[in-house]
Amino acid sequence: MYEKLKQQVLPQLIVPGSRVLMAVSGGPDSMALAHILWRYVKEMKEQKITLVITHVHHGVREESDDEEKMVKSMARDWEIPCLIHRFDSKEYAKSVGKSFQTAAREWRYACWKEDMRKENCTLLATAHHLGDQAETVLYRLLRGSGTAGLAGIYPQKGELIRPLLSVTKEDILEYCRNENLPYALDCSNEEPIYARNKIRLQLLPELQREYNPKIVETLGRTAEVLRWDEEYLEEGVRAAWKKFAIFSTEHRVGLRGTIFDLPKAMLSRLIRRAATLVSGEPRGIAFHYVEQVMASQGQVGWSQDLPGLKIEIDYQGVWFQRADWGQYINESAGILSPSLPIDANWGEWIPWRDREGQNWQVGLFSLENEADDEDYPGQCVDKVFFDGQGLIRNGDKLQWRYRRDGDSLWIAGLGHKSLKKVFQDAKVPANQRQEIPLLALENEILWIPGVKRGDRYPLRQGGGAVGVLVKR
């Protein structure tokens, strides 16, 4: 198992120079993961990969103290920095309106993200294996899912990697035995009360016994090929969005009426994406609502109230807007409202009107879709290039917003320069400064369209992004 991971999997997931945060609970999966990465780093010294361990003490079970000790001792022996967190689970479950499992998972991921920042890690590795994959595929199938859901867990998504995703639980246990690795067993995983546990402990063994002895591998393969399909479909959706979105903020989205001529795979995804953006619900709207919109066949005058949003079709297109959209309209400031930042989704135009009533659009595109002057003859006012990969890796929300106190632009060789100073140097009148949209990563301004860009995330070989400002 180790040799296969070393040859085929790890080089794909971990680039030289990476600093990997490993989430280690003390169970066999994460102990094996830690050992495998530690061994890989030692054997591949020239790659200059470094490791950090993070462990969460859940405090629900008596064994938690022992687990913490075990993880700490391993980290000491292997000379890997080890961070320990204490999660007061009972307290937490009471305070938030979510299931304990969901709350705990969200808390852990937030914690790890913080660790990554503190430790300058570039990757987070978790110990999900092929059994988890099979369980996820079945869970989603039983609950109702399309290609995206059945594609299961991804081996890599942004900075998150799952090196053991192609490995069975049996292989992991055998590895632990062969390497004499200690581990703890989490008994709450063994109780078939949660749907997922029931799938793992009852359904999967039954399917293996009665239908297919290799069911875990079979489902893992299905997830893999569906992931390929989903990636292809998503690429199609991105291209279609660029072509058919006439308006896009997190409160209101407009798509051309001609989306109804598209193949159903694209039409249904565009509807879902627009509704997700506007409703703010990460899982979007229920499928039968998507079907309702599709059944309208784009007839002008059609409208429908859905939970949290309203959809209307007029001669311009199909409009998705928040149920409380009215309160975001700001006639004088145009579309981008001073109080509300807008996520800078790639490939989307953000409309914006200046004090003189001029209409503008600003957007961020990936290089292969580079919008250039030919697309907007004489109207492309400013264009800057960024290191798109770097922006993605950073992980903070990239937003369009108006100026706030304390905003600054980072200039190479100079450091942070306040926006006030930048505007003064560029001779932008004071009364206009509040009305120029800014591309921001938290308090760091990356670009003042039409005025100046900062020197963070300069374009690099490989993936790139381009910001464009055009007059309409």
* Sequence-separated (6 or more) residues with CB below 8 Å from residue 445: 407, 408, 409, 419, 438, 439, 454
**Is 28 flagged in the annotation as binding?**
yes
Phi (first) and psi of residue 212, to 5 degrees = -160, 105
Stretch that binds a copy of itself, among 50-58, 166-174, 214-222, 421-429 (CB under 8 A): 214-222
Cβ contacts of 110-118, under 8 Å, gap ≥ 24 = 111/54, 111/56, 111/85, 111/87, 112/21, 112/23, 112/54, 113/395, 115/21, 115/52, 115/54, 115/83, 116/21, 116/159
Backbone angles phi, psi at 137, to 5 degrees: -60, -45
Specify whether the CB–CB gap between 158 and 393 falls below 8 A. Answer: yes
Residue 30 assigned ligand-binding role = yes
HSE-up of residue 89 (Cα within 13 Å, Cβ side): 14
Q: Please list the helix, strand and coil fractions of the chain in percent, rounded to the nearest 5, in that order.
A: 45, 20, 35
- Identity of the residue, 4 or 94, whose beta carbon is nearer to a copy of itself in the bound complex: 4
Distance in angstroms (rounded) separating the CA atoms of residues 20 and 120 = 9
Q: Does 296 bind a copy of itself (CB under 8 A)?
A: no
Residue 238 C-beta: closest distance to a copy of itself, Å: 13
Q: Which is nearer to a copy of itself, 9 or 468 (CB)?
A: 9
Report the residue number, 88 or 229, with the smaller CB distance to a copy of itself: 229
Burial classification of residue 187, based on how many CB atoms lie within 10 Å of its CB (0-12 exposed, 13-18 middle, 19 or more buried) = exposed
Please identify which residue in 266, 318, 335, 466 interacts with a copy of itself, judged by CB under 8 A: 266
Using CA atoms, how far residue 86 sits from 52, 60, 68, 98, 329, in Å, is 17, 11, 10, 19, 44
CA distances from 137 to 48, 156, 217, 277, 285 (A): 36, 17, 12, 25, 21
From residue 128 to residue 167, the character string flagging contacts with a copy of itself as x (rule: CB under 8 A) and all else as - is: -------------xxxxxxx--x-----------------
From the CB of 36, what's the least distance to a copy of itself, in Å? 22
Q: What angle do CA 209, 2, 46 make, to 5 degrees?
A: 155
The CA-based diameter of the chain, rounded to the nearest angstrom, is: 76
Phi, psi of 161 (to 5 degrees): -125, 150
| Cα gap 452→442, rounded to integer Å | 18
Nearer to a copy of itself, 66 or 206 (CB): 206
Which of 77, 210 has the CB closer to a copy of itself?
210
Residue 253 and residue 319 in contact, taking contact as beta carbons nearer than 8 Å? yes
**Shortest distance (Å) from residue 146 CB to a copy of itself:** 4
Stretch that binds a copy of itself, among 83-91, 152-160, 202-210, 385-393 (CB under 8 A): 202-210
- Per CB under 8 A, the list member of 65, 170, 174, 231 interacting with a copy of itself is 231
The single residue among 64, 268, 279, 321 that binds a copy of itself, judged by CB under 8 A, is 268
What minimum distance in Å lies between the beta carbon of 272 and a copy of itself? 10
Q: How far is the CB of 337 from a copy of itself (least distance, A)?
A: 35
| 339 annotated ligand binder | no
What is the x/- site pattern for a copy of itself, positions 275-294, by CB under 8 A?
Answer: ------------x-------
| Nearest to a copy of itself of 291, 425 (CB atom) | 291
**Single residue of 74, 207, 311, 466 touching a copy of itself by CB under 8 A:** 207
Q: How far is the CB of 167 from a copy of itself (least distance, A)?
A: 17
* Interacting residues with a copy of itself (CB under 8 A): 141-147, 150, 195, 198-199, 202-203, 207, 210-212, 215, 218-219, 221-222, 225-226, 228-229, 231-233, 235-236, 263-266, 268, 287
Annotated binding-site residue numbers for ATP: 25-30
Annotated binding-site residue numbers: 25-30
